[in-house]
A and B are shown apart, each in its own frame.
Chain A
């Protein structure tokens, strides 16, 4: 037997059980809600230009979410998922990465994609599943993906990206390009088997991946108290011998600092890191959900006071890097831009019917070609029943 890794702990002669909650996991906080810093706080690497880019990303994110929820309520959009209240977690972490690091998101990480410069048109085209959608209209709104932005197309099944991120990062390591993968997930996803499979694979095979858990308190309606026992998600990382840190997820400077160091470690040591960002999902899970069925207004109001965007704004104002006037005009400008983009995207045609059978395989099979031809003949016969495609079939 290989005893190299066999635990060599303190020896006792009467039973001593270890309580998971006894594991002391500190939480990193740098920025207070009023925009001042905690005494002795260790600042991340950030200058005015970087801070402005981050703040503008947060502002755009907030506006996009508000406008798209409104569009969904007006019946213009089928579905939407906002990140209200936890924007700093994804934007702050994305801001610590190299632009060519791979992002493997769960679904509520638009912030990272905005930060990478995915265009407003691209967001809209995906949400309205029109013919310019990079995903060719095949998935629900918010399932973005872009090879150009190194943002892996989002998949609905929960946590499947976790072991994939381990594999992706392992491939990056073998190629020796000093790029890493960041894998986002919620605390609910951490209950799935794929989470444990992925962490174990990454730890054993030493993959340079950052597992970034947004612990936002709810998985649809299930509060985290009913999701897991023990000391959050961070304690799981420790069990897999993955270097782990817990941060205040509404503190953009803490998130940035932790992720900058995590990236450095992942590249230099070629090992995984787990970051648990403590936050609160102020909004609904999605537009199909109504939080009033499972939590109180008082609870929401309490957490609204921890607004991460306001917190960063307060810091920017205190640095004299930003003014209230700039702030107002920025939000106004974004609102206008988003509204205009909705109007453009919603009238662009749906993808051609031929796209129904492309990308199933690298080439359509004879069976697929035959099924498409039969479908076209049928639509030609009953054009009124298929108004979206009937007029476009040659």
Chain B
């Protein structure tokens, strides 16, 4: 075990992936010698050469188009989009190409070896264009897998699983936690399975569900609620698509209540999808309406970031409202 922050864990996972497979490539804007603006790819160019870890021109649709071609060819690209806010020029290449390659060709061709890494989320005073959580846009697209780690241990295990998974994966990294989250991480190779949620804490009165950086918020809110005598079960979804319905439904069947928290705006957010599915699976077990604590339906603001965020106080309030419904 070693102490690593989330970036070091990602760097370590990339190092292992490049070491084991010569066809694994890391590229994106400033990814080469500089190591990426957050330094996630530090030292990889020095170790594996400019042909396997390199800077691309500033062209997101080009990065993803290039990555799709590489993956179809049999290489294993790990493409970085510098901020998730800037993934949209590549939207067509991801949604129409990466996601549909295997299906449209009848499996004559696929881009299953593709992984897209991108930092997402608020909490760094980044304003409108350095703070978005666009997972719901991609969650509407069959053929993709969407993964969000919450700490360094997960980041390494989930990223290695994503790189080796035989489907295109969009891997959202909570940039607020890049350096803030430090933990014990095994130096050896390990994987955390995709598509499986993790029960972080057992409880009996309400299920709190989230992913990525918001898991910390849920944990803080749970401490506040426990002081009021409310026992919270906390689940980290980890994979947004395809998501682990069974684990969430089993938990809600037990607790009778569900609260979902995400940073992205409420309307059309992935919490809506979860709520619809869980009310279908658990209708007779529910003791109160499913609560959603999310970002406002505004662009992510700069000055009022704290007000915008679905923080622990808002979450605590929603827990108590559910309990007292």
Does A198 belong to the interface (CB within 8 Å)? yes
Chain A, interface size category, equals 35 or more
Within 8 A of B (CB), among A163-208: 163-172, 174-175, 181, 193-194, 196-198, 200-201, 204-205
A361 touches B167 (CB 8 A): yes
Check A162/B65 contact, CB under 8 A, given A152-B72, A201-B56, A205-B54.
yes
| Beta-carbon contacts under 8 Å, B287-322 to A | none
Q: Which of B67, B71, B89, B108 contacts A153 (CB 8 A)?
A: B108
Within 8 A of B (CB), among A117-159: 133-136, 138-139, 143, 145-147, 152-153, 155, 157
Residue in A138, A166, A167, A197 whose beta carbon sits within 8 Å of that of B106 in the complex: A138
Interface: A323 (CB within 8 A): no
What are 30 inter-chain pairs, A to B, with CB distance below 8 A? A104-B69, A135-B106, A138-B106, A139-B104, A143-B104, A145-B105, A145-B109, A152-B72, A153-B105, A153-B106, A157-B96, A160-B68, A162-B65, A163-B69, A166-B66, A167-B69, A168-B73, A170-B66, A171-B69, A175-B23, A193-B61, A194-B61, A197-B62, A198-B65, A198-B66, A201-B63, A204-B57, A205-B54, A359-B106, A361-B167
Nearest 6 CB-CB pairings of A with B: A163-B65, A167-B69, A197-B62, A164-B69, A153-B105, A171-B73
B38 smallest CB distance to A (angstroms)? 23
> In chain B, what residue has the closest Cβ to A172?
B73
Bound-complex Cα distance A32 to B72 (A): 41
For the A-B complex with A168-B72, A360-B143 known, give 15 more contacts whose Cβ atoms are closer than 8 Å: A133-B106, A135-B104, A138-B106, A153-B109, A164-B66, A166-B62, A167-B73, A168-B69, A175-B74, A197-B65, A200-B59, A201-B56, A201-B62, A361-B145, A361-B167
Min Cβ gap B60→A in Å is 8
Asked if B166 CB lies within 8 Å of chain A CBs, one says yes
Q: Determine whether the beta carbon of B61 is less than 8 Å from that of A147.
A: no
Q: Is the CB of B105 within 8 A of A135?
A: yes
Q: In whole angstroms, how far apart are the Cα atoms of A365 and B103 in the complex? A: 14
**Is A366 engaged at the interface, CB distance under 8 Å to the other chain?**
yes
> Do A362 and B104 have beta carbons less than 8 Å apart?
no
CB neighbours of A193 from chain B (8 A): 61, 89
B193, CB-defined interface residue at 8 Å: no
Contact (Cβ within 8 A) B65 A166: yes
Q: B51: which A residues are within 8 A, CB to CB?
A: 174
What is the CB-to-nearest-CB distance from A114 to chain B, in angstroms, rounded to a whole number? 18
Is there contact, CB below 8 Å, between A146 and B108?
yes
B107 on the A face (CB < 8 A): yes
A residues contacting B by CB (< 8 A) are 102, 104, 133-136, 138-139, 143, 145-147, 152-153, 155, 157, 160, 162-172, 174-175, 181, 193-194, 196-198, 200-201, 204-205, 358-362, 365-367
Give the residue name and chain of the A residue nearest to B145 (CB). Answer: A361
**How far, in Å, is B99 (CB) from chain A's closest CB?**
9
Q: Which residues of B contact A (CB under 8 A)?
A: 23, 25, 51-52, 54, 56-57, 59, 61-75, 77, 89, 92-93, 96-97, 100-110, 112, 142-143, 145, 166-167, 195, 242, 245-246
Contacts of A152 in B (CB 8 A): 72, 109
The answer to whether A200 touches B57, judged by C-beta atoms less than 8 angstroms apart, is: yes
B106 with A362: CB separation less than 8 A: no
Cα–Cα distance between A181 and B72 once the two chains are bound (Å): 12
Distance, CA A104 to CA B70, complexed state (A): 13
- Across the interface, name the chain A residue whose C-beta is closest to B22: A174
**Of A167, A169, A198, which is in contact with the most chain B CB atoms at under 10 Å from its CB?**
A167
Give the residue of A102, A136, A163 whose beta carbon is less than 8 angstroms from that of B61: A163
Residues B104 and A147 in contact, CB atoms below 8 Å apart: no
**Which residues of the other chain, B, contact A365 by a CB distance below 8 angstroms?**
195, 242
A168 to B69, CA, bound (A): 4
B106–A160 CB distance below 8 A: no
- Most chain A beta-carbon contacts within 10 A, residue among B93, B112, B145: B93
A135 touches B93 (CB 8 A): no
CB of B89, distance to nearest CB on chain A (Å): 7
**A138→B73 contact, CB < 8 A:** no
Q: Decide if B104 touches A160 in the complex (CB within 8 Å).
A: no
